[in-house]
Amino acid sequence: MNLPDPTQLAWSSHLNTALELAATLAFALSGVIEAGRKRLDAVGVCVVAFAAAFGGGTLRDLLLDQRPFFWVRHIEFLWATMALCVLAMFFMRQRHLKLTERAILWPDAIGLGLFTAVGVDLSVSLQQPALIAVLMGVTTSCFGGVLRDVLCNEIPKALSDHRPYALWAFVGGWLHLLLLDVGSPAWLALSTTVAVTAGLRMLSVHHGWQLPVWRS
Amino acid sequence: MNLPDPTQLAWSSHLNTALELAATLAFALSGVIEAGRKRLDAVGVCVVAFAAAFGGGTLRDLLLDQRPFFWVRHIEFLWATMALCVLAMFFMRQRHLKLTERAILWPDAIGLGLFTAVGVDLSVSLQQPALIAVLMGVTTSCFGGVLRDVLCNEIPKALSDHRPYALWAFVGGWLHLLLLDVGSPAWLALSTTVAVTAGLRMLSVHHGWQLPVWRS
Amino acid sequence: MNLPDPTQLAWSSHLNTALELAATLAFALSGVIEAGRKRLDAVGVCVVAFAAAFGGGTLRDLLLDQRPFFWVRHIEFLWATMALCVLAMFFMRQRHLKLTERAILWPDAIGLGLFTAVGVDLSVSLQQPALIAVLMGVTTSCFGGVLRDVLCNEIPKALSDHRPYALWAFVGGWLHLLLLDVGSPAWLALSTTVAVTAGLRMLSVHHGWQLPVWRS
């Protein structure tokens, strides 16, 4: 495979960081919402929010043996998430949950694409094989939600709600690899992957697309 | 302890690989079956199958700090598991589940013994103490099933169904260590461990042996 | 931050080890009790006890990339836990569970403070930022209980029972950092942290203090 220059991947780290922060907070809010639904206590809300926001990237760094973890390098993400939890507990009521869930649809979809691309980029820069890189992309973007649901004692939504989510991460991961492989500049590969993945996710939400049902 | 020569452990890697593949696919099928029972979607079936097949070895490699993971070195195992999931979703019906569960009893029991031995061998080659080596063997062979059940929001069967499973891995692990310790050639130690562990497992399935009940 | 000399932290390792062992066994007993309540089998009792006792420190070592794990260096802890499980299965009856739960309140509270301090000390000696150090302290002392509850298919008590537990670890962690930061000798910092954290925990148990309820 024609591997991209890893240094090239650091292209526009400021915009990246802003997008990552927005997506991280959207993931954290999905944790706050689920913890609120389950009537967890204040500690539970924070833990589930952190698990949702940082679980995916942490597992990726663990599997790829990357230290320090991304949240040690971006410690402001931890503080922002903590502030979000405190604010949510002061200002959010049960009746806000539905509203918030719709408000985070877009940032969540962007996070799905962005974190997939980030996971693929990191794996490629570590010379992992293509399939591993794609699976690391899916892990980065989807494992946080799985961990959130396991902590709340639910079957993970990503595995059971028949609405394509991880599937688009998988598709987006291969697309991203393909784009890097044909020599696209990193900024183009990243924005295409994010746009396509987030677009597919939003389309499937709005049109109620369903994963094929297990034929029994 | 009289440690075996690690290089000696690579004795017949082709047969090993074939057996490992069969056992990996049996573990994956146990995930497919449970996901089917729980009516997970197509993504859920794949994720649970992967967790069941690769969870144990991954945790072992993580705990023993072995990189690259075994599934990076044997990437064909990932492809085979993915193919298995696709085939299962096309051809498997609800009425096949019971049948498949019985069909995988033997490969699953062989996997129990084989992965235990593999985990012990790896730990011994890293000069871990005996107890750690045995626990790593149990982890390798049993953690995948635990992860599968946690993802499906069940109490892990290995912890609750009163049928000895992890116990035989524990026994097999000590046996394997003992055999290595008395200087058995690696092929003999491996085949004895697999035969004894798988045999005990099949005996306890067929005779309905129960773990002692907690006396309340 | 004014970092303490790591070697200074090894001050009275024998007393430390005795306290750690008592707290580890208290954590293991909490696992035995929950497994007994859930009517797990003998293997389940052992696995849940091990998860409760060693889960927190293992995740900390994994996140901080510390090898060998603390239980490889203190392998006698593994043997002691295993002996505890066997004894508990022989001598403990359902009617003992309530009694045991009260008997371990103090060792569990001391463990909460002690493991928090240990986690903070280790992180500080690795030059981690303050927030990370505190979160590692909380992880060390609280993750074992979370893992225990996830394995038993419960929403983790630490997240849902509205009784402050992880919160005191968080407070104790910052206190410990502060004490180290103002130059307290290690023995003083450690004993103060343990006393304050355990004291707060016991106070909140006896007075039935509640975490603020999510306002819905």
pLDDT level of residue C2 (50, 70, 90 thresholds): very low
Q: Chain B residues with CB inside 8 Å of C72's CB?
A: 128-129, 132
| Cβ(A61)–Cβ(A29) below 8 Å | no
CA distance A25 to A22: 5
Residues above pLDDT 90, as percent of chain A: 60
CA A94 to chain centre: 25
Residues above pLDDT 70, as percent of chain A: 92
Are C89 and B212 within 8 A, CB to CB? yes
| Count of domains forming chain B | 1
Are B36 and A214 within 8 A, CB to CB? yes
In a domain, residue B214? The reply is no
In a domain, residue A151? The reply is yes
C residues 127..146 contacting A (CB < 8 A): 128-129, 131-132, 135, 146
Task: Please name the member of C35, C62, C75 whose beta carbon is closest to the beta carbon of B62.
Answer: C62
Residue A215 has what pLDDT? 57
Report the alpha-carbon angle B93-B97-B103, nearest 5: 125
> Does B212 have pLDDT greater than 50?
yes
Q: Within an 8 Å CB–CB cutoff, is residue B86 touching chain A? A: no
Q: Report the pLDDT averaged over residues A157-165.
A: 88
Residue type, A174: W
CA distance C15 to C17: 5
B contact test, residue of C43, C86, C151 with most B CBs within 10 A: C43
- Assigned token pair, C197: 């954290």
Residue-wise DSSP of chain C? --PPPGGGGGTTHHHHHHHHHHHHHHHHHHHHHHHHHTT--HHHHHHHHHHHHHHHHHHHHHHTT-SS-HHHHTHHHHHHHHHHHHHHHHH--TTHHHHHHHHTHHHHHHHHHHHHHHHHHHHHHTT--HHHHHHHHHHHHHHHHHHHHHHTTS--HHHHS-S-SHHHHHHHHHHHHHHHHTT--HHHHHHHHHHHHHHHHHHHHHTT--PPPP--
> Does B8 have pLDDT greater than 50?
no
Interface A-B, measured as beta-carbon pairs within 8 A, has a size of: 71
pLDDT level of residue C8 (50, 70, 90 thresholds): very low
From A10-19, B84-93, C84-93, C147-156, the region with the lowest mean pLDDT: A10-19
Are B151 and A158 within 8 A, CB to CB? no
In a domain, residue B2? The reply is no
Q: Give the closest-approach CA distance of B172 to chain C in angstroms.
A: 15
Is residue A142 classed exposed, middle or buried when 0-12, 13-18 and 19+ CB atoms within 10 A define those classes?
Answer: buried
User: pLDDT per residue over A76-102, tens digit each?
Assistant: 999 999 999 999 888 877 777 777 888
Q: Give the closest-approach CA distance of B149 to chain A in angstroms.
A: 10
| Cβ(A46)–Cβ(A105) below 8 Å | no
Residue B172 has what pLDDT? 96
Q: Chain C residues with CB inside 8 Å of A48's CB?
A: 159
| Cβ(C26)–Cβ(C115) below 8 Å | no
By CA distance, what is C78's nearest residue in B? B131
From A190-194, B128-132, C89-93, C179-183, the region with the lowest mean pLDDT: C89-93
Residue B141 CB partners (closer than 8 Å, separation 6+): B56, B111, B112, B113, B114, B115, B116, B119, B166, B169
Residue C89 has what pLDDT? 84
Q: Report the pLDDT averaged over residues B109-114.
A: 92
Is residue B122 classed exposed, middle or buried when 0-12, 13-18 and 19+ CB atoms within 10 A define those classes?
Answer: buried
In a domain, residue C211? The reply is no
More confident residue, C96 or C187: C187
Angle between helices B42-63 and B13-37 (to 10 degrees): 130
Please report where in the chains the tokens 């295993």 appear, as a residue.
C82
> Does A194 have pLDDT greater than 60?
yes
Residue C176 has what pLDDT? 96
B partners (3+ CB pairs within 8 A) are A, C
pLDDT level of residue A2 (50, 70, 90 thresholds): very low
Residue C81 has what pLDDT? 95
Q: Within an 8 Å CB–CB cutoff, is residue C126 touching chain A? A: no
| Cβ(C139)–Cβ(C59) below 8 Å | yes
In a domain, residue A1? The reply is no
What does the mean pLDDT of chain C come to?
88
In a domain, residue B4? The reply is no
CA distance C2 to A38: 42
Stated length of chain B: 216
User: pLDDT per residue over C107-146, tens digit each?
Assistant: 889 999 999 999 999 999 999 999 999 999 999 999 999 9
Q: Within an 8 Å CB–CB cutoff, is residue B207 touching chain A? A: no
In a domain, residue C214? The reply is no
More confident residue, B94 or A38: A38
Residue B101 has what pLDDT? 80
User: pLDDT per residue over B126-179, tens digit each?
Assistant: 999 999 999 999 999 999 999 999 999 999 988 888 889 999 999 999 999 999
> Does C11 have pLDDT greater than 90?
no
Residues above pLDDT 90, as percent of chain C: 60
Q: Within an 8 Å CB–CB cutoff, is residue C1 touching chain A? A: no
3-state SS of chain B is: CCCCCHHHHHCCHHHHHHHHHHHHHHHHHHHHHHHHHCCCCHHHHHHHHHHHHHHHHHHHHHHCCCCCCHHHHCHHHHHHHHHHHHHHHHHCCCCHHHHHHHHCHHHHHHHHHHHHHHHHHHHHHCCCCHHHHHHHHHHHHHHHHHHHHHHCCCCCHHHHCCCCCHHHHHHHHHHHHHHHHCCCCHHHHHHHHHHHHHHHHHHHHHCCCCCCCCCC
Q: A169: domain range?
A: 11-207
Q: Report the pLDDT averaged over residues B203-208.
A: 91
Residue B2 has what pLDDT? 47
In a domain, residue A212? The reply is no
Are A38 and C160 within 8 A, CB to CB? yes
Residue A95 has what pLDDT? 74
What does the mean pLDDT of chain B come to?
88
What does the mean pLDDT of chain A come to?
88
Are A211 and B43 within 8 A, CB to CB? yes
Residue B99 has what pLDDT? 78
